[in-house]
């Protein structure tokens, strides 16, 4: 396996983007990523497009997006792994460089979700669970699925709705400093606690929103990375796993087995011992506030049942054990499904290069960052470790 580095990153403004079509939105971040890497289309060997789609008419989004970005006739494909599509696309690009098939690969994640009314989008996302049994028979929605995790967690460990609210408060606080975030406003405990229930115990401010947006990264082999930049950020390990689509077959509702397996595999590949103090930051999949607490435990940042105490003690703000979601997370930055994983890797890359303006820049001490990206309700899980140092690969 060859070493692979991130050499460029870009992201569009997230939010309601009626001003741009899917291809135009994708180009915004592809252009930024190419400029950041100092390359043009001819330098790219292939490109991967991460989009879940279903909201609009494009049936062949990869060629449609690629052509607009000036990348035709390069090899391409669309990758889909629900909300983890972005990480799956990076995994694909990483594999083709590590194996020697390509030297420079562009990855773009793009989604336009607000073209459908929210009720339609919520129904479409709901079908991402077990369609015939859970969706058709019981009308499960995504907030409904994560509400099952929340009720199990609160009941088993004695956490409260206020502990969930702490995640929303933190992520909106950091989102308020991110000019590309969908919501750039802080929220307080009263606002979270008095927001309307969506699926008890989850309230509006416990949920990620419906979002349009794109993000892109350029990955390169070591030889190309050394030519292009003096500070490549190395992908030290990607771990991936899948979980049953059937909620009634899950072992329990207080964690995601696929996330634990993906973390174990990523840590092994990267030679990382799992000590959260060695990471400078983590971007985790907070599609609902409960999901961030589960992530703390699945990733080994805290013991089982201890995640809510980390939140209570403010341990995942800057200055704590490990800053989490300095981008604002899915909660405040927004969650354009196919773009999310790509935007997380872009964020950690910029953070490790100390390129973030203002107080949401992490203190970079060890040069390590982590991305945790979940698809469905734990159907897909990807954990990626990035570092300033190439290591002994
Ligand atoms: N956080 C904060 N504010 C939100 C919000 C959120 N998640 N979602 C919507 N809002 C705001 C909107 O900006 C809007 O504000 P405005 O009236 O000032 O313009 C208002 O709330 C109503 O927006 P609307 O789109 O009508 O909300 P809704 O009540 O129909 O839908 C949810 C809210 C939470 C049900 C919907 O956003 C949702 O389903 N989110 C989860 C998406 C999901 O499952 N993603 C996949 C996860 S893996």
Closest CA to 105 of 116, 89, 119: 89
Q: What is the rounded distance in angstroms from the CA atom of residue 92 to the CA atom of residue 179?
A: 30
Q: How far apart are CA 59 and CA 57, in angstroms?
A: 6
Express as a percent the part of the chain with pLDDT over 90: 88
Residues 156 and 78 grouped into a single domain:
no
- The verdict on residue 150 lying in a domain is yes
Residues 89 and 146 in one domain: no
Ligand 1 center–CA 172 separation, angstroms: 14
Asked whether residue 313 is domain-assigned, the answer is yes
The model's pLDDT over 331-385, given as tens digits with 9 standing for 90+, comes to: 999 999 999 999 999 999 999 999 999 999 999 999 999 999 999 999 999 999 9
27 and 89 Cβ atoms separated by less than 8 Å = no
Number of domains in the chain: 2
Domain with 196 in it: 140-209+236-387
Last-in-domain residue among 228, 262, 284: 228
Q: How many angstroms does the Cα of residue 209 sit away from the middle of ligand 1?
A: 5
CATH number at residue 322: 3.40.47.10
Q: How far apart are CA 101 and CA 252, in angstroms?
A: 41
> Is residue 94 a part of any domain in this protein?
yes
Residue 325 lies in a domain: yes
340 and 369 both lie in a single domain: yes
Question: What is the pLDDT, as a whole number, of residue 271?
Answer: 96
In a domain, 241, yes or no: yes
> Is residue 193 located within the same domain as residue 222?
no
Could you tell which of 83, 208, 335 is best to mutate to test the pocket of ligand 1, judged by most ligand atoms within 8 Å of the CB?
208
Q: Does the structure show a pLDDT above 90 at 69?
A: yes
Give the tens place of pLDDT for each residue, 267-299: 999 999 999 999 999 999 999 999 999 999 999
For residues 66 and 197, state if they share a domain: no
Assess if residue 181 is contained within a domain.
yes
- Verify that 287 and 375 share a domain, yes or no: yes
- The answer, yes or no, to whether residue 29 has pLDDT greater than 80, is yes
| Atom of ligand 1 lying closest to residue 377 CA | 48
Residue finishing a domain among 193, 228, 263: 228
Ligand 1 near 335 CB (within 6 A): yes
pLDDT digits (tens, 9 = 90+) for 40-56: 999 999 999 999 987 76
Supply the pTM of this predicted model. 0.97
Query: What angle, 0 to 180 degrees and rounded to 10, lies between the N-to-C axes of helices 289-298 and 257-270?
Result: 50
DSSP codes joined into one string, 184-253: -----HHHHHHSPEEETTEEGGGB----EEEEEEEEEEHHHHHHH-SS-EEEEEEEEEE--S-GGG-S-S
Same domain as 74, residue 33: yes
* 118 Cβ below 6 A of ligand 1: yes
Same domain? 204 vs 221: no
What is the per-residue pLDDT for 53?
Answer: 84
Which pLDDT score is estimated for 125?
Answer: 84
Q: What percent of the chain has pLDDT over 70?
A: 99
For residues 167 and 266, membership in a common domain is answered with: yes
List the residue whose alpha carbon is closest to atom 28 of ligand 1.
Answer: 118
Residue 127 inside a domain? The answer is no
Q: Which of 228, 255, 278 is the last residue of a domain?
A: 228
* pLDDT tens per residue across span 99-131: 999 999 999 999 999 988 888 888 888 877 777
Residues 154 and 292 in one domain: yes
Q: Is residue 177 part of a domain?
A: yes
- Mark whether 290 and 182 lie in a shared domain: yes
Residue 160 and residue 294 in one domain: yes
């Amino acid at each position: 396996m060859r070493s692979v580095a991130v050499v460029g990153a870009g992201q569009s403004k997230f939010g309601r983007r009626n001003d741009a079509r899917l291809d135009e939105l994708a180009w915004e971040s592809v252009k930024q990523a190419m400029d950041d890497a100092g390359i043009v289309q001819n330098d790219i060997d292939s490109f991967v497009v991460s989009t879940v789609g279903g909201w609009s008419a494009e049936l062949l989004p990869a060629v449609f997006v690629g052509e607009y970005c000036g990348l035709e006739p390069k090899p391409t494909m669309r990758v889909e792994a629900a909300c983890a599509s972005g990480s799956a696309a990076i995994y694909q690009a990483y594999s083709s460089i590590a194996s020697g098939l390509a030297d420079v690969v562009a990855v773009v994640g793009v989604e336009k979700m607000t073209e459908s009314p929210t009720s339609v989008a919520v129904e479409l996302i709901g079908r991402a669970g077990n369609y015939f049994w859970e969706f058709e028979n019981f009308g499960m929605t995504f907030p409904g699925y994560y509400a099952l995790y929340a009720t199990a967690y609160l009941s088993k460990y004695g956490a409260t709705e206020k502990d969930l609210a702490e995640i929303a408060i933190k992520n909106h606080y950091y989102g308020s400093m991110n000019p590309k975030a969908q919501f750039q406003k802080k929220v307080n405990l009263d606002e979270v606690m008095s927001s309307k229930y969506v699926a008890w115990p989850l309230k509006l401010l416990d949920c990620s929103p419906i979002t349009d947006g794109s993000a892109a990264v350029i990955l390169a082999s070591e030889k190309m990375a050394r030519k292009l930049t003096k500070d490549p950020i190395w992908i030290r390990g990607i771990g991936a796993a899948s979980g049953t689509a059937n909620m009634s077959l899950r072992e329990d509702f207080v964690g995601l087995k696929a996330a634990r397996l993906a973390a174990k595999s990523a840590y092994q590949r990267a030679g990382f011992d799992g000590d959260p103090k060695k990471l400078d930051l983590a971007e985790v999949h907070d599609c609902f506030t409960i999901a961030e607490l589960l992530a703390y435990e699945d990733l080994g940042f805290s013991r089982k049942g201890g995640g809510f105490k980390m939140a209570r003690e403010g341990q995942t703000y800057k200055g704590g054990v490990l800053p989490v979601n300095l981008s604002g997370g899915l909660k405040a930055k927004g969650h354009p499904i196919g773009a999310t994983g790509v935007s997380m890797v872009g964020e950690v890359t910029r953070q490790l290069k100390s390129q973030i303006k203002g107080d949401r820049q992490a203190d970079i001490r060890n040069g390590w960052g982590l991305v945790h990206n979940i698809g469905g309700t734990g159907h897909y899980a990807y954990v990626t470790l990035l570092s300033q140092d190439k290591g002994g690969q």
